[in-house]
Amino acid sequence: MLKANLLAALTQQINEEYYSSYIYQAMVAYFADNHLDGCAHWMRLQAQEEHDHALKIFDYVISRGGRVVLAEVKAPPKDWASPQAAFEAALAHEKLMTTNITKLADLAQSEKDHATNNLMQWYVTEQVEEEANVDDILSKLKMVGGDGAGLFLIDRELKTRTVAPAGGAA
């Protein structure tokens, strides 16, 4: 059985993961509206991955005898100044999620809840990958600046992203 403070923190993180999915869906709409189908594709898969992250914690809470109570998901932003600005927002969001996961891992350790700590270690590793993936795309966008041909090539590359095997990101 989960301690009340861990249950509350995990439930909050479930809602944060759903919000992450919502942000990335908003980015799908932004990119699709700007005819950047590769960026939209990449973000659609990212949104699905975040949804899966929420479900992983959701199922864990249930397996530990906890009750998940979902909160309202706030509306995400809907526009960004540029594709680069959208990916900058994505990186800032991933850094926020890393902070949240780190706090959860710290809480699990302080409560000596080894099972929850083990789960959080998976998320710690996942967040390193999440930040690196977005940072890589952002670095490329910065390299090309306002060059439309460069953006076209990056967009085409992002269209090749595939769904990762369970437990990882592509």
Q: pLDDT tens-digit profile of 52-94?
A: 999 999 999 999 999 999 999 999 999 999 999 999 999 999 9
- 26, amino acid identity: A
The region of weakest confidence among 33-42, 109-118, 147-156, 158-167 is 158-167
| CATH superfamily entry for domain 4-158 | Ferritin, core subunit, four-helix bundle (1.20.1260.10)
What token pair was written down for 34? 């700007």
Mean pLDDT within 144-152 = 93
User: Across the chain, what does the average pLDDT equal?
Assistant: 95
Q: Answer whether residue 169 shows pLDDT above 60.
A: no
Q: Please give the model's pTM, rounded to 2 decimal places.
A: 0.92
C-alpha–C-alpha distance, residues 14 and 61, integer Å? 10
Q: Answer whether residue 124 shows pLDDT above 90.
A: yes
Q: What is the pLDDT of residue 168?
A: 47
Q: What is the pLDDT of residue 163?
A: 80
Angle at alpha carbon of residue 17, lines to 23 and 60, rounded to 5°: 160
Mean pLDDT within 108-114 = 98
